[in-house]
Amino acid sequence: MAATLIADVIEPSIFTAYFLQRMLDRWAFHQAGVVSTDPRIDGSIGNGGRTINMPYWGDLTGAGASEVLSDTTPLTPQKIAALQDVAALNFRGKAFAANELAQAVAGSDPMAAIASQVADYWIMDMGTTVNAILTGIFGVELATSHTHDISIEDGDNAVAANLFSPQAFLKAAFLLGEHEQSLTAFACHSVIYNEMLNQELIDYVQPAGQSGTVPMYLGRRVIVDDNINKVAGGTSGFKYSSYLFGAGALGYGETPPPTPVETDRDSLQGTDYLIHRRHFVVHPRGVAWQGTAASTTPDNTELATAASWSKVYDDKAIKIVRLLSNG
């Protein structure tokens, strides 16, 4: 009986749809509403260039106080500014060897099984990319206005005031003032989640239409992801970044490249390959990309560079805040 090859079960035109659906279904940031699809991004990815312009209207807070009506003095019209956010395109790819995927071929739906494994890989990789972006935007632009820092450099000697607490959480949320209720999800490292569990701060709820439960804290869905920033303290221990997000704080779009999926085989080695390419955008709304990529599009090191980002929304319209603690 001839062996089943990757090329026998992968239909490139169908695989991409399998993959995208499974990735979004499994990606916690998407499930929690932090990442929202944006048709403007989808429609712009294939138009050439390395960035996408995302125009928006400024708000009217700078229009000044209202005027007293008069039958002799006309009102003074105030303009609304047309402004522009800028997102970086990401062209990424990965090749997978058949020996990593061979067990999936035995499934009842082998293409779906392979798509699931590839989706799990990209979810992990997208987490790394999102963390790089967060590192970049909080390097300078959001370092003060959107950060509540209770950490110390000597993390091994941190006291209660330097660790996660309900008070610290609320202090971070209220960096947006009266808009704190717009923050609907909390993403943290597993060390922080463990601290929350030890403090018995987590509730579990079952979302409508779902079979499982999800962790919640003060009405916010909790996302646990060890890609989230953990850096060594200047003296000892670690400093952990945790993030509160509003719905749609990260815009997302994806359009398959001309050849998104290919299969190949090294007959002499008996090895099958699956080559997967993606063109996508994941962008923090309100903080514009202004970096210059050394290659076609930026890598994670460039995304994590503070100088590559510039705040363009008013502070309270940027729905991301950070809590920095020692655990």
Structure tokens at 269: 């080695």
pLDDT tens readout for residues 44-81: 787 777 888 876 555 666 667 888 888 888 888 776 56
| Model confidence pTM above 0.75 | yes
pLDDT of residue 59: 62
With bands split at pLDDT 50, 70 and 90, how would you rate the model's confidence at 1? Answer: very low
Give pLDDT, residue 98. 67
Q: Calculate mean pLDDT across residues 1-10.
A: 67
Calculate what percentage of the chain has a pLDDT beyond 70: 91
Model confidence at 12, in pLDDT bands (50, 70, 90)?
A: confident
282 vs 265: which has the higher pLDDT: 282
User: What is the per-residue pLDDT across 244-257, written as a single tens digit (0 to 9) for each?
Assistant: 999 999 999 999 99
Secondary structure string (H, E, C) spanning 96-140: EEHHHHHHHHHCCCHHHHHHHHHHHHHHHHHHHHHHHHHHHHCCC
pLDDT of residue 80: 57
Task: Average the pLDDT over 208-224 and give the result.
Answer: 89
